[in-house]
Each structure stands twice: as structure tokens, then as C-alpha cells.
Chain A
Amino acid sequence: MSGEKDLEQIKREAAEKAKELAKQRLAAKQAGEGNDPKQVADQIAEPVVKESVAAAATDDADLAKKKAAAAAKAKAAAMAKMKANAQAGEAPAASEAKAEVSAPVEGQDADLAKKKAAAAAKAKAAALAKMKATGQIEANAESEAQAATDAADDDDLAKKKAAAVAKAKAAAEAKLKAKAEAGEGADASSGDDDDLAKKKAAAVAKAKAAAAAKAKAAASGGGSADDEKAKAIAAAKAKAAAAAKAKSAAGAKAGAEEPVEEKKPSPNQPYLDKYVKTITDNLGADILEDSYINPLSKDVPTLVAKRESYYRLAEFLKYNELLGFDYLSELHGTDFQTHMEVYVHLYSYKNRQSVALKVKLDRNDPVTQSVQPLWAGADWPECEAYDLLGIKFEGHPNLHRIMLGEDWVGHPLRKDYEPYDVEV
């Protein structure tokens, strides 16, 4: 629920990116229709690669996937995944293309179909696509076992996706059809692509599966590629925004529904990845103790600094150009009995992004560097933490007991605090 809100926030950006990507991909497809499928795959991968922090572009499916995930800076996470899948689908298709000519073409078409499906967030198209998708996933999964191609990881993805989608009401029906299709002998690569389509569709769809849709799905399994393409172009342009929205929303929902199977596609995951990457690139790998998305707290990326590197990390967070966290929103300490923790919530007005920075301290000797020299706003909050918890901030210019006064005995917010004056 909270994820949705955040998602909506980046909706606009996502919409723009989606439009661009749609255009690029279409162009790539058109260009690659008669060409070497491998080139096509690379071309499609390029726009993503450009945006990604990582530089090198390879045609390896795994790498492409990773890249895509990393690159999804400021884009909806769902979007990114779509892309990743697309590439994953395409790359194996390309590798197979040497043996089969028809496979890569189908891959591209499927790609288009997928895009189209996403773009045309209209319930009908979505439902249709979903039907198809679910059907083909199953087909994929089953055929995979027999075919045993080198697109094993795609299958995994497909399976996961399939699980997510299986929640749809139409799943049962779809499965039946899928089996039918499997009997017809759909090959693995088309299955992959369909996979993607399915996922997109699932995201959009409200699970209003209809019998008609099923029928159509079977028909379109044969594939009128031209139609799909045309549709895709129009739909992608017009409805890119809507699609992105729907997708991201759906992504969030899926995450909420099945957190175990599918690692929730938090919209802030790319940010976290970016932060971690920037930090490890510049400060080394051993500066962070942990980093994760906190789903309870509106998906805020959370970094846990190592005790000795807390100040260095804070400094880096403030002054690094990519991060630029210039605003300290909150600083406080907590006594977790096993350890003390200082929680700092930072915000960057430049990048409009939050991060939570934490550091765990020794409870018996809670000492850490003060961040007051970095953010003047940390002055009083640190005094407060010192007063109520006894955390000492080294380098603070005026650390005093701001609330209770210097003559107060004990630190009340410690869990083992006993009032000194028992009468009170």
C-alpha cells in the first residue's frame, strides 16, 4: 500500500522513460527484422546500457539482466524488470537463431507484444495478453523440460512469474489451454518472450479473464505479428504513461502478495543499488555493514554503516554529487538492549530522494562521531540523544543535556533506566 504511493511519485518519470524506450525498441526491431538477430538484441540492450552505471555491454543474458536492474535509475522498478526480461528473452533467442531462423523473429514479435500489452493498459488487451501469457508460461515450463535449451535461467524467471500470475482467477483455464499449446509444440524461445508478455499483462490485469479472451489467445498464439506491431506502436506512444503506472502498481501489489516467492519489486531498489554501488566504488566494500529496503517505512533505502566508518559514510552521503543528501530530517538513538543504534534520516533536495543511515554502537560505551559539522541541524538532536540515551558524539561543539539538565541522574530512554528519585 505504501509502496503504491511511492510508485505513483515516480510515475511521471517512468512514463517519459517508457515512451522513449518504446520508440527505441521499435526502431531496433524494424531495423533488425531482416538482419542478424544478435545485433538486434544488442541494439535493444543499448539504451538500457547507456543509462546504467556499469559500462560494459555483453550479450550474455545474465549480465544483461543485471545491467538492466542496475540501470533502472529513476525508473519504475517494474519497468526495469520488464526490460531485463526482454533482454533475457532476446539473448537466448539470438543464440538459437543460428540454428533456427524463425525463433528470433518470434522473439522480437513477442517483445513487441509484451510492450503493447503493457502499453495498452486497457483492461481488454491486458486480459487477453494475460491469458496468452499464462498459457505460454505453462507451455514454457513444460516444454523447457523436454527441450533443455541454454535458456535455463529464463525458465526460472518464467516460473517465478508464473507463480505470481497464478493468482489470477483465470489461471486454471489458462493452464488447460497452455497444455493444449504445449502439445502443439511451441518452442522455448517464444515461450520466454511470452513469459514477459504475461508478466506485464498480469501486472495490468484485474483478473477479469473471459472465455473470449482465451479463444483469442489461442488464435494469437499463431501470431499475427504485423497487427501486434502496429498496435504496439500506437499504444506505446499514447498509453506509455498509463502502462507504466499500471505496471508499477501491479508490481507493488504482486510484491505485497507474495513476498516470499518474488522479492518485492520495491520502487526504491534501484536507488539502493545505486547508493551501494557509489559507496563501494568510492569508499571500498567494507564500509557498509548492511543495506536493505525497509518495506515498513515506505520502502526507504536503509544503509547500516560500520561503527568506525559512520562519519566517513555520512560525509560521503552529503558531499558526493550522485548522492547529495543535504538535508538531515531526523536523528535519534534507540536502545536495543543488545546494542545502541543511531538512526539518521537524510533527504536530498537535489535528487528528491531519502535514505536512512544507521549505525550500531556498543551499548556499554556508546560513542560515535558527531555529524553536526556536516549538518548543523544535527546539533540539538544529538544533544537529545546524549541526554536521553547517553550516546556520546565526538566532535560535537556543545554536547550538553538539553532536556533534563546536567544534574539529572541516568538516561531515561535506556531500557534499564531506574528513576533516581524513587519518590517521583
Chain B
Amino acid sequence: MVQDLLESSAGLFNFGIFFILAVILLFVILGFVTMAILAERKVLGFMQGRYGPSHVGGKWGLLQSVADVVKLLVKEDLIPKAADRPLFIIAPVIAFAPSFMVMATIPLTDKLQFADLNVGVLYYVAVSGLTIVGMLMAGWASNNKYSLLGGMRAAAQMISYEIPLVMSVLGVILLSGSLSLNDIVETQRESGWFILWQPIAFIVFFIAATAELNRVPFDLAEAENELVAGFHTEYSGFRWAMFMLAEYVYMFAMSALITVIFLGGWLPLPFMGFIPGAVWFALKFSVVVYILIWFRATFPRIRADQLMEFAWKVLLPVALGNIFLTALIKEIFLK
């Protein structure tokens, strides 16, 4: 359906359809974000021997995140006097927009997708990289030394980890022969999930993805114990909410991407095909999110210089080696 629309002529009507669809997606994602935050807090609570939210919206605290969002939206809009005002205002937007843009290519099922780009993986990586600009701007515009340090760290980290991220996924692309996410999933229907064929790539990708997400143990940019809150120290209210939103949308997107590339997307387990693909996707996706939360409950934060070392001296060589190995295997066994 979307494919037809994409190929149809531009017009107000089509724009309206796109707009409405986009708004629907936005709300779906917002729904996810509120639930993800709640889930994170509940799971963390479970792991840390406490309850987590338990008051707003019944005993599971279902409406806690909603209440938080409302509170953030009605909060006074504070802009520091010495801040660079235009940059300060535009930074959260620049940070958030790419996170939403990458959602377009991710196939939730074979039908439910906005755009099946034949360079889907590259698109994702390229667009998500734009967020760094927003963070750097925020750090700079705040006129706060902690923010600046946080922004710098974020930039360095994101750039460093994008390389192993792409390199590791190359192995998968070699096997599937396509950059399109749909094709990658379809390949797995025959060959089995790529996590089995590309375990090294999976591990490297997962680590790099965690770093890209700025999550523990790679949350240096907003390391509250060193840099107070990093690049968003000076932000509050809905601007701060934008950053948080971007972060969780990325979490959504990255989990979905991992599901698609390594866990077979919407493909069912053998003999379980009667369960619809969307459910399978949701299940796999939830597992990935759970693991990310689990990380957060377990690991301390890595140090900035060690983080860089890890990216360049460990992950990158491993990813390169994996490409080489994959090429060999493909050349020798799969020809």
C-alpha cells in the first residue's frame, strides 16, 4: 500500500495520507516510549529488589510515564541567560527528528512498513548519525562546561562506534546479498537466523548498538556522576523531554533493527507459524529491550578513554576479521 503511495504522484491528498500515517506512527512510538520507560523502571525495580512505579494508574503504575510527560510539558520553559538561544532551542529538535526518520525503513512485518529502501541499513546508520549534531549543539549552546564536555564525549563516541556497527553488519550483508532490510529478513527464512551464522557480528553489533544508544555501560555523554547530566544539564521541561524521547525512540529503532537483522524479524520459530508475524516481532523485540535494561541494572560505566580504545582496538578489528571470515566461508562453502 505504502509502496503504491510512494510511487503515486505528489498531491495534497497523498500528503494528507502520509501526514496522518506519520502522526499515527508517532503516537504508536509515543505509546511505546511511555511503556518502555515504565518497563525499564519496573524491570530495574525487580532487579534491584524494589517495586518501581506503583501508584499512578493502578498498582502497576501504568500511567506513571503519562503523568511524567504531562508534568514535563507543563513545566516552565527555562533557557539560561548566557545560552546561545537559537541553537539552544533548535538542538532538541535536531536530536529528535532523525530518530523518527529512521523508523520509516524498519519493517515491523512484511506488510507493515513505510519505505522498503534498497539501502535500508545504510539509511539507518546515516540518518541516526545526525543526532550527534543535535547533542553537540545542545552541549555548546548551554554555555555550561559539563554540557560541553558531555557533547564532545557524545560526538566522539557516536562517531567511533558507528564504524564497528557498520562493519559488523557487513557480514550479514555479504550473506544476504542485499542492503534492504526486507531482503535480509527474507534470506533468513531459508538459511535460519543470522545470529546463528554471524554470532561474532551479532556481539559486535549489539555492543556498538548499546554505545550508539548512549546506554549503560556506554552512557558517558550523560554520565551523571561525572558530568552531572552531560549535554542536557541545562535543559528542562519539554526540551529535555525531546532528548529523552529521542533516546527511547532510538532504543525502539535499534531493538527493531537488531530483531530484523539478526533475529529474523517477523519470522516465526519452526512449527509456530500459526502465531502472526507481528507477535513474533514484538516478542523478539521485547527480548532485546529487556537485555538492554538488564545491562543497565548490571554494569558500571566504562571510562572515556577505555571506551575509545575498545571501539578502535577491539571491536573494529574483530568486525573486520568477521568480514574476512564471512567472505572466506561464502567463497568456499556457499558458492
Decide if A and B touch, CB cutoff 8 A. Answer: no
Point out residues on B near A: beta carbons under 8 Å.
none
